[in-house]
């Protein structure tokens, strides 16, 4: 990694990985999937003296997004999400904040990204790649220059996210895993929404869904 400094904090009951993607030179950072623990994020950000500039969501599930509005308010920063996930984010049954959590949550999304769109944030070029399957609008964020992909619940270490939840689709997630692994060089590091990091080479060899 060149100018990227990465921190991750497991947040909430589902131990969702919230990533702080910081530019070492400016200390600007983007927060990927703030989960549901705004206090923990605030503490981690102050500790590294980071300057948050944006929140990025990989998909709409409650365990990835329920701190979004508080974190947005705390730092006065915008929330980015894939346009294809608009309905899941808006529907508390589909994003499980209503059904499982009994706490219907409405994310105040500021910007809907399109498939392949490059977001210029914190000095990074962050490409949003639509990877449906876990949900209909799930995505990965790829920073080519830094050789990293943030996969949300699309790719896990030797596994993938479940597809039995609303809008999930097993054949689509298989295609999406291929989309990512075909696109990035083997040494690219993959940072999932849950569990340990992996690499493209490792998943090509060992992921049973490939």
Cβ closest to Zn ion, residue 23 vs residue 135: 135
Distances, alpha carbon 66 to alpha carbons 4, 5, 32, 57, in Å? 26, 24, 12, 11
The DSSP symbol for 3 reads: S
Q: Which among 99, 33, 40, 44 is positioned nearest to 68, based on CA atoms? A: 33
Cβ closest to Zn ion, residue 61 vs residue 127: 61
Q: Which of 9, 61, 68, 88 binds Zn ion (CB under 5 A)?
A: 61
**33 makes contact with Zn ion (CB under 5 A):** no
How far apart are the C-alpha atoms of 88 and 109, rounded to whole Å?
Answer: 12
Q: Which residue is nearest to Zn ion (CB)?
A: 61
Q: Look-up: residue for tokens 């054949």?
A: 171
Q: How far is the CB of 61 from Zn ion (least distance, A)?
A: 3
Task: Decide if 55 contacts 68 (C-beta within 8 A).
Answer: yes
**85 makes contact with Zn ion (CB under 5 A):** no
Q: Which stretch binds Zn ion (CB under 5 A): 35-43, 61-69, 105-113, 167-175?
A: 61-69
Extract the tokens encoding 52: 């948050």
The DSSP symbol for 114 reads: P
Q: Which stretch binds Zn ion (CB under 5 A): 18-26, 148-156, 169-177, 196-204?
A: 148-156
Q: Which of 153, 155, 167, 181 binds Zn ion (CB under 5 A)?
A: 153
Q: Is the dihedral of CA 80, 83, 89, 90 positive or negative?
A: positive
Cβ closest to Zn ion, residue 105 vs residue 124: 105
Q: How far is the CB of 133 from Zn ion (least distance, A)?
A: 11
Query: Which residues on neighbouring strands pair with residue 28, listed in sequence order?
Result: 51
Cβ closest to Zn ion, residue 49 vs residue 164: 164
The footprint of Zn ion on this chain (CB under 5 A) covers a number of residues equal to 2
Q: How far is the CB of 60 from Zn ion (least distance, A)?
A: 8
Residues binding Zn ion (CB under 5 A): 61, 153
């Amino acid at each position: 990694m060149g100018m990227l400094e990465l921190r991750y904090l497991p947040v909430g009951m589902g131990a969702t990985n919230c990533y702080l993607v910081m530019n070492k030179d400016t200390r600007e950072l983007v927060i990927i999937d703030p989960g549901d623990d705004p206090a923990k994020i605030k503490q981690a950000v102050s500790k590294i003296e980071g300057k948050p500039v944006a929140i990025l969501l990989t998909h709409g599930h409650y365990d990835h997004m329920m701190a979004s509005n508080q974190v947005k308010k705390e730092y006065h920063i915008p929330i980015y999400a894939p346009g294809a996930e608009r309905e899941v984010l808006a529907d508390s049954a589909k994003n499980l904040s209503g059904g499982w959590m009994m706490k219907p949550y409405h994310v105040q999304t500021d910007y809907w990204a399109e498939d392949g769109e490059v977001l210029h944030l914190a000095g990074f070029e962050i490409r949003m790649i639509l990877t449906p399957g876990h949900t209909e609008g799930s995505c990965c964020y790829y920073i080519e220059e830094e050789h990293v992909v943030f996969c949300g619940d699309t790719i896990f270490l030797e596994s993938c996210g479940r597809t039995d939840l609303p809008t999930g689709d097993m054949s689509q997630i298989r295609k999406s895993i291929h989309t990512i692994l075909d696109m990035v060089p083997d040494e690219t590091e993959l940072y999932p929404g849950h569990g340990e990091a992996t690499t493209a080479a490792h998943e090509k060899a060992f992921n049973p869904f490939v």
